Structure 1
Amino acid sequence: MILTEERLQDLLDKSLAGLPSGTEWAVTLEGSIAEGFGNPSSDIDFLLVGRDGDDLPTMPTLLFVDGRRVELRTRSVHQLAEQLRAVEREAGRPGRLSEDLLNRCQRVLHSHPLRGHALVEEVKALLPVERFRRITADWWAHRARQSLRHATALLCLGESDEAADWTGAALVQSVKSWAAGLGETYLEPKWLSMQLDRAGRTDVRDRFWALESAAVPPGDAAAARARLTDCLDFAEELGLTDVPRRPERLTVARVPRVTTWQTGERVHVVRDGRDVFALGEDAASVWRSLVLGRSLPRVLADGAATGVTDPGPLLAAFLRYGLVRLAWKGGGTVTPALPLAAPPGPVTPPPSAEQPLLSVRGAAVTGSRAVDLLPLPADRFAASAMALVWSNVVVENAVEDLTGALQRGQRRVAELTARRAVHAALRGLFSAHGVNPLPADTDLVRRMDLLPAASGPIGVGARELLGRSVESARDGDALRAELRRFIALVRAAVGADSFPLSFESASTWRATLRLGHDWLRLGAHLGAELPIEEARDLLTANGAQPHQAP
């Protein structure tokens, strides 16, 4: 160690002086200095062990003593015993063994007792060091396999730069597994150079550093593949088994609670009942080509058969966002992970900034290859979309009523009906921007500040129409013409300019029902509030009118 026993005891005395008296502690030094590593900036990590059965805080106390940073951690014998037993319980399932738990146990087992030696050794005896070496080696080997399989998949998908990074991770994990089998179980890779020096195999050490320093130029798929091959060879030489020589053993598998909903030509993918991804045209073609359970090379070929250029990065995005998963035949889901990093799992990208968010045909996207996350939870997305469709139905109904009122000279009815049409159109506008629940109809025109500035002219037009009166037939005709222009302006803004003229004919009504049914299915699946209770009958009838003969 870089500090003498006498110096450690002195630092311990001064550190304990600041703690409440009355507790008898066994004390052991853990961490890099106890391992024989460390430098003048390294923490002094004291673990205080109490016989009391009560659980003690996990958070350390940080002190500054004689120019050194000291961390005091406390654990009861009961807590330490539970941690060591938990490692033993999960020994046969390294994928479920957490890095934090393994690290805490490693530090205890390799610690240097300073006081209460008998109690410290009693705790250590609960998990023999030889057994812990095997568990740690298996844990690193599992991670190395996952990284190698992930790198193989990324190369297959044309993501060579990312594949090279995961190859580098696998290289470290492979040699850490080998070193752990020789007793070098300290988890943090920062002391790897000293661990390899102590292991005494200069051939392994030199081969590792040669591979580690081999640069892969950005975008050079051939160099990335060559480095992966070298890493696979090295891993096998170190004793790692079941390395991924055949990408055909990688399969694309289903992820629970990921569902697909198509509205018009737009494909929406809902993740975990919460997040909605909208796919551009090319992304949707590749998504629709997926046959889950097939090998990754076959899935890639299926994507290319759609005519989409370079489908690999789109498949990689689906994997990255957790819309599908990779599995290894006989080896479960591929879950790569890095030490001391964020836990593995699906990436959630920043929400799309497209405005408005929705149209009656589906969510807005940023491009043909887009896999855009909508800035709405799934239930609000569905509720907004249903409100958008229903508002357009109400607009068509109101315009029809307005036409009839004007034909009969019912001027006051015409005024109220025109206002109803304006309010319904505004409901559609707000819904297209994801506002849900909606403001009251009377408040809509005052809440235009919730929408982008480009919606300003619509607000001006709405205020003018809401103040119009009908004093003559000419006023009525002008009102109807201006209302139609206003509705066209709103629909152009929200992508509803192709909305069927619902009440013009049987065919346009059927088109309206089909459109509404697409959204109602998604809304019902997500438990979103339906716009009207009658909509349940449309669901029950699978999009047809309930009393219509086959």
Structure 2
Amino acid sequence: MILTEDQLQGLLDKSLAELPRGAGWAVVLEGSIAEGFGNPSSDIDFLLIGRAEEDLPTMPSLLFVDGRRVEIRTRSVRQIAEQFRALQEGAKRPGRLSEDLLNRCQRLLHSHPLRGHGLVDEVKAMLPVERFARIAADWWAHRARQSLRHARALLCLGETDEAVDWSRAGLVQTIKSWAAGQGETYLEPKWLSMQLDRADRPDVRDRYWELEAAAPAPGDADAARAHLTACLAFAEDLGLTGVSWRPDRLTVGRVAGVTTWQTGERVHIIRGRREVFALGDHAGTVWRSLVPGRPLTEVLAAAEHTGVADPGPLLAAFLRYGLIRLAWKGGGTVTPSLPLAAPPGPITPPPSTAQPLLSVRGAAVSGPDGIDLVPLPAHRFAAATMALVWSNVVVENAIEDLTGALQRGQWRVAELTARRAVHAALRGLFSAYGVNPLPADSDLVRRIDLLPPATRPIRERAEELLRRTVDSAERGDGLLADLRSYVELVRGTAGADAFPSSFDSADTWRATLELGYDWLRIGAYLDAELPLEEARDLLASNGAQPHQAV
């Protein structure tokens, strides 16, 4: 060790003097210095072991003694026994074994006793170091398999640079598994060079460093393939199983809680009933080509036949976002992870900045390759889109009523109906920008300041129309013309310019029902509040009118 026994005892005495007095402790030195590594900047890690019945805190006390940082942790014998028990139970499924638990047990088993040697020997005897070494080796081997399989998949999808990074991760995890089998179980990879020197296998050590140094430059697919092949061969030579080169072992599978919803040409994916992704034209085409359960190579080939020029990165993005999963035949889901890093799992991209967010045909996207996270919780997305469609139905109905009122000279009816159309159009506008719940109709005009500055002309037009009065056919015709122009402006802004003229004919009403039904299905799936009670009948009839001749 880099510190003598006397130096350690002196640091311990000074550290304990800063803590409240308590029962006698057994004390060990943990961490890199206890392992024979370390340097002048390394922490001093003391673990105090007692027979207390209560749970002792996990968080360390941090002290500064003689220019060194000292961390003091406490654990009871019972807590240590529970840790070792949990470790051995978790070892049955290495993929789920906690890195933190593994690390705590490793540090204790390889610690250097300073006081209370008898108690230290007692707790260490609960888990033989040979058994722990096997657990650690299996844990690293599991991660090496996942990383190397993931690298193989990324290489297939054309994500060369990312594949190289995971090849290197798998290489580190492979050698750490081998080293653990030699008794070198310290988890932190930064001391790997010293661990390999101590393992006294220069052939293995030198080959590892050769492969590490041979990682290819960015963008070189052939070199990346050759490097991964060499890493796989090295892993197999060290006894790692389940990492054959056969690409047909990698398959694409469904992910629980991921559902697909299409409105018009737009494909939406709902993840876990919480998040909505909107796909651009290319991304949607590739998504629709997916057939779960097929080998990744076949899935990629099918995507390439859709006409999308380079579908590999899109498939990789689906995988990255947890919208599909990668599996190894006979080996479960591929879940790569890195030690001492963020936990594995799907990532969530920044929310889309497209404005407005929604249209009657689907959420806005950044481009044809877009896989955009809608910046609304899924239930608000559903509620806003249903409100967008329904508000436009109300606009159509109000314009029809206004036309009839003008034909009969019902000027007061015409004024109120026009105001209803103005407010309904604004409800659609607010919904397109994701505002839900909506402001009251009487407050809509004032609340346009919630929306981007580009909507300010709509406010001026709405205020003017809400003040209009009708007392003649001429003024009525002017109101109708201006209202239609206003509705066209709002719909153009809100992405509803293709909304059918609902009440013109049976065909346009059928188109309206079909459009509404698409959004109602999403709303019902997410338990969102429906815009009106009659919508339940539309759902029950699968988008058709409830009373139809058979």
Once the two structures are superposed, residues 224-272 of structure 1 have per-residue CA deviations (whole angstroms, 9 ceiling, x without a partner) of: 1011011011111111112131111000001001000000000000000
Alignment of 1:487-502 (within 5 A): 487-502=487-502
Which 4+ stretches in 1 moved above 6 angstroms? Answer: none
Q: Is 2:478 the partner of 1:478?
A: yes
Letter in 2 for 1:290: L
Q: In the aligned structure 2, how far is the partner of 1:77 from the partner of 1:472?
A: 93
Once the two structures are superposed, residues 406-457 of structure 1 have per-residue CA deviations (whole angstroms, 9 ceiling, x without a partner) of: 1111111111110100000000000000000000000010001111111111
Deviation at 1:35, TM superposition (A): 0.3
Alignment of 1:143-182 (within 5 A): 143-182=143-182
Does the 8 Å contact 2:60/2:72 carry over to 1?
A: yes
Alignment of 1:116-265 (within 5 A): 116-265=116-265
Q: 1:270 is paired with a residue of what secondary structure?
A: strand
Q: In the aligned structure 2, how far is the partner of 1:186 from the partner of 1:143?
A: 16
Once the two structures are superposed, residues 8-53 of structure 1 have per-residue CA deviations (whole angstroms, 9 ceiling, x without a partner) of: 1111111011111132211110000000000000000000111012
Alignment of 1:72-471 (within 5 A): 72-471=72-471
The residue aligned with 2:36 is: 36
Q: 2:223 is paired with a residue of what secondary structure?
A: helix
Q: 1:46 is paired with a residue of what secondary structure?
A: strand
Deviation at 1:475, TM superposition (A): 0.9
Q: In the aligned structure 1, how far is the partner of 2:533 from the partner of 2:338?
A: 51
Q: In the aligned structure 2, how far is the partner of 1:102 from the partner of 1:146?
A: 19
Q: In the aligned structure 2, how far is the partner of 1:471 from the partner of 1:92?
A: 84
Q: 2:184 is paired with a residue of what secondary structure?
A: coil
Deviation at 1:215, TM superposition (A): 3.5
Letter in 2 for 1:527: D
Q: In the aligned structure 1, how far is the partner of 2:175 from the partner of 2:441?
A: 67
Q: 2:462 is paired with a residue of what secondary structure?
A: helix
Q: 2:376 is paired with a residue of what secondary structure?
A: strand
Q: 1:367 is paired with a residue of what secondary structure?
A: coil
Deviation at 1:506, TM superposition (A): 0.9
Q: Which range moved further: 84-93 or 399-408?
A: 84-93
Q: Is 2:517 the partner of 1:517?
A: yes
Once the two structures are superposed, residues 362-409 of structure 1 have per-residue CA deviations (whole angstroms, 9 ceiling, x without a partner) of: 011011111000000111000000000000000000000101111111
Letter in 2 for 1:94: P
Does the 8 Å contact 1:167/1:228 carry over to 2?
A: yes
Deviation at 1:121, TM superposition (A): 1.1
Deviation at 1:458, TM superposition (A): 0.8
Q: Which range moved further: 207-216 or 182-191?
A: 207-216
Q: 1:326 is paired with a residue of what secondary structure?
A: strand
Q: 1:430 is paired with a residue of what secondary structure?
A: helix
Q: 1:32 is paired with a residue of what secondary structure?
A: coil
Q: Which range moved further: 174-183 or 234-243?
A: 234-243
Deviation at 1:117, TM superposition (A): 0.9
Q: 1:376 is paired with a residue of what secondary structure?
A: coil
Letter in 2 for 1:254: R
Once the two structures are superposed, residues 246-303 of structure 1 have per-residue CA deviations (whole angstroms, 9 ceiling, x without a partner) of: 1110000010010000000000000000010000111111100100000000000110
Q: 1:35 is paired with a residue of what secondary structure?
A: coil
The residue aligned with 1:9 is: 9
Letter in 1 for 2:514: R
**Which consecutive residues of structure 1, in runs of 5 or more, have no partner in the other structure?**
none
Q: 1:425 is paired with a residue of what secondary structure?
A: helix
Q: In the aligned structure 2, how far is the partner of 1:270 from the partner of 1:392?
A: 25
Does the 8 Å contact 1:148/1:244 carry over to 2?
A: no
Does the 8 Å contact 2:168/2:215 carry over to 1?
A: no
Does the 8 Å contact 2:164/2:215 carry over to 1?
A: no
Q: TM-score, normalised by structure 1?
A: 0.99
Q: In the aligned structure 1, how far is the partner of 2:219 from the partner of 2:444?
A: 52
Does the 8 Å contact 2:383/2:530 carry over to 1?
A: yes
Q: In the aligned structure 2, how far is the partner of 1:22 from the partner of 1:425?
A: 73
Deviation at 1:355, TM superposition (A): 0.3
The residue aligned with 1:547 is: 547
Letter in 2 for 1:291: V
Letter in 1 for 2:209: W
Letter in 1 for 2:299: V
Q: 2:445 is paired with a residue of what secondary structure?
A: helix
Does the 8 Å contact 2:215/2:224 carry over to 1?
A: no
Q: In the aligned structure 2, how far is the partner of 1:379 from the partner of 1:34?
A: 54
Q: In the aligned structure 1, how far is the partner of 2:50 from the partner of 2:405?
A: 87
Q: In the aligned structure 2, how far is the partner of 1:396 from the partner of 1:244?
A: 63
Deviation at 1:98, TM superposition (A): 1.0
Identity across aligned pairs (percent)? 77
Q: In the aligned structure 2, how far is the partner of 1:459 from the partner of 1:118?
A: 82
Q: In the aligned structure 2, how far is the partner of 1:387 from the partner of 1:228?
A: 52
Aligned-pair Cα RMSD in Å: 0.7
Letter in 2 for 1:162: E
Does the 8 Å contact 1:152/1:244 carry over to 2?
A: no
Q: 2:113 is paired with a residue of what secondary structure?
A: strand
Letter in 2 for 1:100: D
**Which consecutive residues of structure 2, in runs of 5 or more, have no partner in the other structure?**
none
